[in-house]
Amino acid sequence: MADDKLILITLLVKLGVAASVSSALARSRTFQRLLFAEHRQTRQTLKLMAFFLVPLTLGVWVRLTVRNFLAADLSFETVTLLGLLVGPAWATLGAVVMAIPASIRGEYLAAPFLCGVGLVAGILGTWVEKEEIWSFTPFVDLSLYRWVRRNLRKPKFDRQILLLMLIAGMEVAHVWLASRHPHRLFALDPDALWLQVLVYLCAPMVVAISLKMWNALRIELKLEEQKRLVLEARLDALQRQINPHFLFNTLNSIASLVRFRPDLAREMIVKLANLLRALLKDHDTYVPLREELNFTDDYLDIEVVRFGAEKLRVVKELDERTLDVLVPSILLQPLIENSIKHGLEPRIQGGTITIRSRMQGECVVIEVEDDGVGIVSKPPSALSRPGAGIGMKNVQERLEVLYGNQARFTVVSRPGRGTLVSIAIPADLA
């Protein structure tokens, strides 16, 4: 029988060991994915069991071989966690594995007792809601008044208290059985009554520490997932804003050809069909710049026909190193469309669209420049052209959604001499 002072120190160290092991496991992305998976295959469950059993079975060996380091043995609490989180069958298997070192040393009651713990915890885990398990806390006294008041109004069976009583009760049985068979089952068995109470409460505390740490991580991952879904929804809404705007302007371009040049209009309809096919199919958020340029080429072919090759000229100054860099899909088309509609179309003689790309440190810089009329300030009474500015605003919002403050979007305009739109984004290669 261990000294009471040693037992008190062991209980404190045990809480620290539980927190350390739980924190170490939580750092593994694989462990996170396996632990929080709604449905697991057998192979995945075995991997999850390995995360628990390898370090904690080693802890049982440490307890048997290192004198006075009893806090390394967390087999009772681990089997309880397995029952609550994985299920009774897997908890029973884990109990057998964790009892192997103890059984070799003659603690023959370890395996049957831990199997019983796993079955009881597993049955309870299948009966209660998962959220009740994740929110388990032994500090019921903090809400005792509200619990009594709530149950006086509307009596309800509190599974949180049941879980606390069950773990503490199994620990009581654990200590009693170990006291009757001291060399066949290990447990901390102090003489002082107050210390016995601490031993009984330590087990639910260890379980709660692990659940609390992992639940905090689970909530954080859920918030990240919700944030990602919100960003995707916003990005999708912005993407849908582009498509009707683009379609409307392109159909207007084709309409101008139907009466006088039907063959060319038919050719442009085929090109438009290709563009719509690319727009309507499921595509990634990011595409290589090379693919994005191919998409804008089809759009420019339509606009060149409408304006005439002598009035709309396209110049490309592209760095070969940038062609495989990933960029947001449909990034350039709104900017080119904006340059044509609001920069070159008001000019009788037309003008030139210049598309540039270059590497600048860890970023890729993409520019769309025109030599049109530029951005002219209008008095408040002036009528604005429909759709003016939608393309650039849309692109700017998408860059903010995808890159945050890592992206740079600048517009430099000189009235009567043209507009330069520059984008700088991280150079992620395909």
154 has pLDDT over 70: no
Q: Give the type of residue at 426.
A: P
Share of the chain above pLDDT 70, in %: 84
Asked if residues 2 and 70 have their Cβ atoms less than 8 Å apart, the reply is yes
Work out the average pLDDT over 157-180: 87
253 pLDDT tier (thresholds 50, 70, 90): confident
Asked if residues 369 and 421 have their Cβ atoms less than 8 Å apart, the reply is yes
Q: Name residue, tokens 């037309």.
A: 350
239 pLDDT tier (thresholds 50, 70, 90): low
- Least Cα distance to 243 among 342, 346, 337 occurs for 337
Specify the higher pLDDT residue, 242 or 98.
98
Question: Exposure string (b/e) for 351-387, b if CB count within 10 Å is 16 or more?
Answer: bbbbbbbeeeeebbbbbbbbbbbbbeeeeeeeeeeee
Work out the average pLDDT over 182-198: 88
Work out the average pLDDT over 301-318: 84
281 has pLDDT over 80: no
State the average pLDDT for the chain.
83
Work out the average pLDDT over 106-134: 91
Instruction: State how far the Cα of 124 lies from the Cα of 134, in Å rounded to an integer.
Output: 13
pTM for this model (two decimals): 0.60
- Least Cα distance to 360 among 420, 407, 414, 293 occurs for 407
Report pLDDT for 50: 94
Structure tokens at 154: 């509307």
Cα atoms in the 13 Å half-sphere on the side-chain side of 270: 5
3-state DSSP call for residue 326? strand
334 has pLDDT over 60: yes
Report pLDDT for 336: 87
Report pLDDT for 151: 62
380 pLDDT tier (thresholds 50, 70, 90): very low
Query: Of the given ranges (1-15, 162-176, 349-363), which has the lowest mean pLDDT?
Result: 1-15
347 has pLDDT over 50: yes
CA dihedral 254, 259, 263, 269 (to 10 degrees): 20
Query: Of the given ranges (21-30, 222-231, 254-263, 364-373), which has the lowest mean pLDDT?
Result: 222-231
Angle at 365 between CA 363 and CA 367, to 5 degrees: 170
115 has pLDDT over 90: yes
Asked if residues 305 and 264 have their Cβ atoms less than 8 Å apart, the reply is yes
Instruction: State how far the Cα of 300 lies from the Cα of 370, in Å rounded to an integer.
Output: 14
- For residue 168, the tally of other CB atoms under 10 A from its CB is 19
Query: Of the given ranges (91-95, 99-103, 158-162, 289-293), which has the lowest mean pLDDT?
Result: 158-162
3-state DSSP call for residue 308? coil
15 pLDDT tier (thresholds 50, 70, 90): very high
Report the relative pairing of strands 351-360 and 312-318 from DSSP bridges.
parallel
Query: Of the given ranges (34-38, 249-253, 353-357, 415-419), which has the lowest mean pLDDT?
Result: 249-253
Work out the average pLDDT over 221-248: 67
Report pLDDT for 7: 87
Query: Of the given ranges (65-74, 193-202, 249-258), which has the lowest mean pLDDT?
Result: 249-258
Specify the higher pLDDT residue, 422 or 382.
422
